[in-house]
Amino acid sequence: MAATNLHSAILEWFAARGRDLAFRGTTDPYAILVSEAMAQQTQAARAAEYWTRFLVEFPTVQALADATPAAVLRAWRGLGYNRRAIALRAAAVAIVRDHDGRVPDDLEALRRLPGVGPYTARAVAALAFGRRVGAVDVNVRRVLSRAIGGGLDSLPPAELQAVADALVPGESPGVWTHALMDIGATFCGPRAPRCEPCPARVACRYALERAGKGGAPQAEAGVPPPGAGAGPRTRLRERPEAFETTSRWLRGRLLDLLRDGSGSAWVRLPADLGAHGDAAIARALDGLARDGLAERHPEDPELARLPIA
């Protein structure tokens, strides 16, 4: 009965109030694979903007597989976590080589694709092929941990996955997948869940127990209450290192310089960039090369380019 109530409450709310994201209008497995790669560690609304433009440039698996890594990295500009772009292209190459250009509908075959982990495989299986599998991202993890287990981190990963799979309804598993994600993003925040307006509260153990205690906030594992922990570690977090001094900032600026280059031409890099000198730039370039995001000139250390093969 609890599962039925949860299904009804969440699906009715989603039908009326779910987010209208561009990639939710397709059942094309390739387009869904692209959307899931983009949405990792990126807000869904932002990923949706890039998704439309990316598919114009690479409309099919074959088009993406035939593209150079440089072309894909240029199209990925602004999304961040650029290794996802390289992995997505590698997945397209594998799909063309091993699956006749068709995204596989088998969960294990999806898992074997480069860059495709348990969540992405299940999301593609549910959204594109209607498989009854639960895709557990950070939003879904919060919703199910609270609704079924009573709090964050209440269920071990294997048990949480089993619960997610068991809860998928027989009809429209893709709609259920999107709906759970929206509940997590809209109401079930990590620190301050908004239980009162959440439609899942009718069958949520956490919300019901919270209401039984007069709505008082409950301490959850791994989530300090507001104002707690005002010791030395908290004070350090209040003075974060300036982003411009980090290696992540430097890697991003270097990639942008390489993206600004024309075609396969080598780009001469500056001796310093922001607060970073030539030694830091050399280290960052070595890291980009190891990650498949850049090529260094074999003879001139000041020259680099995006990978072309």
Q: Read off the pLDDT of residues 171-215 as tens digits, 9 standing for 90 and up.
A: 889 999 999 999 999 999 998 899 999 999 999 999 999 887 755
Is the model's pLDDT at 50 over the cut of 90? Answer: yes
Active site residue 295: no
What pLDDT does 215 receive?
53
Share of the chain above pLDDT 90, in %: 76
**Lowest mean pLDDT across 25-34, 39-48, 107-116, 125-134:** 39-48
pTM: 0.86
Domain positions in the chain: 13-129, 243-305
Query: How many angstroms separate the CA atoms of 161 and 134, rounded?
Result: 7
What pLDDT does 236 receive?
39
What pLDDT does 244 receive?
84
Residue 85 identity (one-letter amino acid) = A
Nearest CA-CA partner of 292 in 37, 70, 33 = 70
The mean pLDDT value of the chain amounts to 89
Residues 298, 300, 302, 303, Cα dihedral to 10°: -60
Catalytic residue from among 36, 57, 171, 209:
36
Is the model's pLDDT at 230 over the cut of 90? Answer: no
Share of the chain above pLDDT 70, in %: 90
Residue 36 identity (one-letter amino acid) = E
Q: For residue 262, what pLDDT band results from cuts at 50, 70 and 90?
A: confident
**Lowest mean pLDDT across 18-27, 39-48, 224-233:** 224-233
Is the model's pLDDT at 292 over the cut of 90? Answer: yes
Is the model's pLDDT at 28 over the cut of 60? Answer: yes
Q: What is the mean pLDDT of residues 214-231?
A: 46
Is the model's pLDDT at 4 over the cut of 80? Answer: no
Is the model's pLDDT at 240 over the cut of 70? Answer: no
Is the model's pLDDT at 249 over the cut of 50? Answer: yes
250-270 as b/e: b if 16+ CB within 10 A = bbbbbbeebbebeeeeebebe
Beta bridge partners of 304: 267, 296
Q: What is the mean pLDDT of residues 234-263?
A: 78
CB 269 within 8 A of CB 302: yes
Q: What is the mean pLDDT of residues 270-283?
A: 91
| Annotation: CATH topology of 13-129 | Endonuclease III; domain 1 (1.10.340)
Which architecture, in CATH terms, is 243-305? Orthogonal Bundle (1.10)
CB 251 within 8 A of CB 284: yes
